[in-house]
Amino acid sequence: MKMHRLAYKEAGVAFAFLAPSLIGFAVFYLIPFGQNIVISFQGRLEGEGLTLASYRELFQSSSFQKAAANTFWFTAISVPTLIVLSLALAMLLNQRVFLRNWLRTAYVLPLVVPAASIVMVWQILFDWNGVLNAIWNDWGMSRQDWIKSDWASLVLLLIYIWKYVGYNIILFLAGLQNIPEQYYEIADLEGAGPVRKLLQITLTYLTPTTVLIVLMSVLNSFKMFRETYLLTGDYPYDRIYMMQHYMNNMFLSLDIHKLSAAAVVMAVGILALVAVLFRTERAFSSFME
């Protein structure tokens, strides 16, 4: 009986400490999103009731189709590229390399640099009269309008990798350092090569960390709107017109119903991806047990 009372008391104390955060989350995130879902199903005319008209208009919109396709392909290309590069650099920094501690610090610096400063640097590099075009011109090649051409996707990919590669490296380093060194020693005794050790030890035991990093990388890919907006404005080149641009423009035009429907579709897509990632991680944990 006393144990139950103690457990209830500890639960009450824990809830008291969590209550301010839970209330803030409910007021600023949960309740507004619930209201957003209701608005997405409401008709535009008073008394029309619940309807799917906003979703039909959304999926028939060419702007939405372009934004959704661009967002999908950017995430599908940028996230695997970032994961592979981050893992390779983390494995390198996990060895005894020259200036290892300095490099670990340098990779985190992009996370603390203000977005406006980042955009200014990339504008200096890729502007029509920027550094890269000056070098291009000196080599006898014609200038490129990097931001307003098919090269814009590559510029956005480079900004994304530059900004978040250090964050992923730190997480991968933590995962690598948690793998017991004895596993590699046993593999050496059995004559295992580098590829076998990579696949059967490193990648296997990094699966939980990789799932977390993939999830964070996907979420960070959606955060690239700020840099893209500062770099190109409301209506960028077609190849980098993302879901966030579409939603921002719907907000500016006060098309709240279509904006709400787009937010719900985006949230459902992210939740589906999160569910797949957690299911993968759970299946791996069961397999390892």
3-state secondary structure of 231: helix
Does 171 or 136 have the greater pLDDT score?
A: 171
Q: Is residue 33 part of a domain?
A: no
Structural contact between residues 55 and 40, judged by C-beta atoms closer than 8 angstroms:
yes
Region of residue 236 (left: phi > 0; alpha: psi -120 to 50; beta: else)? beta
Q: Is residue 263 part of a domain?
A: yes
Mean pLDDT within 4-23 = 79
pLDDT at 30: 86
- Backbone φ, ψ for residue 151 (5° rounding): -70, -15
For position 196, which CATH number holds? Answer: 1.10.3720.10
77 pLDDT band, cuts 50/70/90, is: very high
The total domain count for the chain is 1
**Rounded to an integer, what distance in angstroms lies between the CA atom of residue 191 and that of residue 228?**
49
* Beta-carbon-side half-sphere exposure of residue 66 (alpha carbons within 13 Å): 13
Q: Is residue 186 part of a domain?
A: yes
List pLDDT tens digits, range 159-169: 889 888 888 88
Mean pLDDT within 56-77 = 89
Q: Is residue 213 part of a domain?
A: yes
Q: Is residue 284 part of a domain?
A: yes
Q: Is 4 exposed, middle or buried (0-12, 13-18, 19+ CB in 10 A)?
A: exposed
Q: Is residue 182 part of a domain?
A: yes
238 pLDDT band, cuts 50/70/90, is: confident
Q: Is residue 115 part of a domain?
A: yes
pLDDT at 186: 81
On the question of pLDDT at 84 being above 90, the answer is yes
Q: Is residue 268 part of a domain?
A: yes
pLDDT averaged over the chain? 81
Q: Containing domain of residue 101, as a range?
A: 61-288
224 pLDDT band, cuts 50/70/90, is: confident
